[in-house]
């Protein structure tokens, strides 16, 4: 239920705050010491992974909860803020966003259609930027769309039951 989701969100938020505080301190130190700068990027990747691990743990426990949209949305927002100044960073960020979106859009959560719209826009932008075929037009994309429609239908059924219970 909602109270349980709030606890998981609090846990993830706490991990994100640790990440941001630690990175702020490391960046300030690296401005003073150029040798420390090289280690900051590696530390940032490790700390980002800790936050991702926390999100993944939470989503494993409660990712299909009818109200889990907030958790999925928060995860996507966190990834969206990753640096992407190099081609490698852009690829890593886009790959992670794609994986999380693909998991999110097939969950029977409220507002799953909003997640789908964001995902479709993400894929269209990537295809345009990279000059490639829109992923959603591929056979896998078509399959994902069918799974999303099933999740959307189930989410609507769950929502009506949930509203009667409350």
| pLDDT tens readout for residues 31-62 | 666 665 667 778 888 999 999 999 999 999 99
DSSP secondary structure string for all residues of 16-75: HHHHHHHHHHHHHHHHH-HHHHHHHHHHHHHHHHHHHHHHHHHHHHHTTSTTTHHHHHHH
Instruction: Provide the pLDDT confidence category of residue 63 given band limits of 50, 70 and 90.
Output: very high
State the total domains in the chain. 1
Structure confidence at residue 56 (pLDDT): 98
pLDDT of 142 higher than 60? yes
CATH number assigned to the domain comprising residue 133: 1.25.40
Q: What is the DSSP letter of 111?
A: T
List pLDDT tens digits, range 96-105.
999 999 999 9
* Domain interval for residue 39: 2-165
pTM metric for this prediction: 0.88
List pLDDT tens digits, range 97-134.
999 999 999 999 999 999 999 999 999 999 999 998 88
Instruction: Look over the chain and give the mean of its residue pLDDT values, rounded to a whole number.
Output: 90
């Amino acid at each position: 239920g909602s109270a349980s989701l709030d606890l998981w969100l609090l846990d993830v938020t706490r991990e994100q705050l640790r990440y941001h505080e630690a990175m702020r301190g490391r960046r300030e130190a690296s401005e003073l010491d150029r040798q420390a700068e090289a280690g900051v990027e590696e530390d940032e990747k490790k700390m980002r992974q800790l936050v991702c691990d926390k999100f993944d743990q939470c989503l494993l426990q409660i990712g299909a909860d009818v109200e889990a949209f907030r958790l999925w949305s928060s995860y996507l927002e966190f990834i969206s803020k990753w640096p992407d100044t190099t081609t490698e960073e852009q690829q890593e960020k886009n790959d992670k966003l794609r994986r999380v979106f693909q998991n999110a859009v097939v969950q029977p959560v409220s507002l799953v259609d909003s997640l789908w719209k964001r995902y479709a826009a993400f894929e269209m932008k990537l295809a345009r930027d990279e000059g490639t075929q829109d992923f959603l037009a591929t056979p896998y994309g078509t399959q994902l769309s069918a799974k999303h429609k099933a999740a959307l239908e189930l989410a609507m059924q769950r929502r009506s039951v949930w509203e009667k219970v409350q």
